[in-house]
């Protein structure tokens, strides 16, 4: 319960440092320099392209319950615009499809 693996702790500290570099460092850096339009455009695409990259292999691995869950998530998100309901409904749909198929 309270064991700390040295490499896990190192990875967590690395992630924490990288994250704070973005939170604090971004404010500090962009106070000194203004990012050009090209960098701005590239950064503006980052969240979307990154999340697509994260879900693509998982969605295309041929498991039907994943596709059912993803469709339900999109539908509920479009309908309610609520992250909580989309996660709950999507997971429930995936679970239902998994137990029926």
Partner 1 sequence: MIHGPVVFTLAGLRRGAVVSLPLLIGLTPFGVVCGITQQAAGLSLGETILMAGLVYAGAAQLVVLGAWTHPPSVLAATLTALVVNLRLALMGPVLAPWLDRLRGWRVWLSLFTMVDPSWALSVREISADYRDAAFLLGAGGIMWISWMITSIAGHLLGEAIQPTPGHPIFFAALAVFVALLVNLWRGKADVMPWLVAGVTAVATAHLLPGTSWYMLTGALAGSLLGALRDARSGDADRR
For residues 51 and 41, give the distance between their C-alpha atoms in angstroms, rounded to a whole number: 17
Cβ at position 25, least distance to partner 1 in Å: 7
> What separation in angstroms does the CA of 73 have from each of 12, 31, 33, 50, 53?
30, 39, 40, 18, 17
Please tell me whether residue 89 adopts helix, strand or coil conformation. Answer: helix
Cβ at position 48, least distance to partner 1 in Å: 4
Cβ at position 7, least distance to partner 1 in Å: 4
Please tell me whether residue 71 adopts helix, strand or coil conformation. Answer: helix
Cβ at position 55, least distance to partner 1 in Å: 5
CA triple 70-76-79, angle to 5 deg: 140
């Amino acid at each position: 319960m309270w064991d700390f693996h040295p490499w896990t702790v190192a990875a967590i500290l690395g992630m924490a440092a990288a994250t704070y570099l973005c939170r604090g460092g971004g404010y500090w850096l962009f106070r000194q320099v203004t990012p050009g339009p090209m960098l701005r455009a590239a950064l503006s695409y980052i969240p979307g392209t990154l999340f697509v990259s994260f879900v693509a292999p998982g969605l295309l691995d041929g498991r039907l319950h994943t596709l059912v869950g993803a469709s339900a998530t999109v539908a509920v998100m479009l309908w309610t615009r609520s992250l909580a309901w989309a996660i709950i409904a999507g997971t429930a749909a995936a679970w239902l499809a998994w137990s029926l198929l």
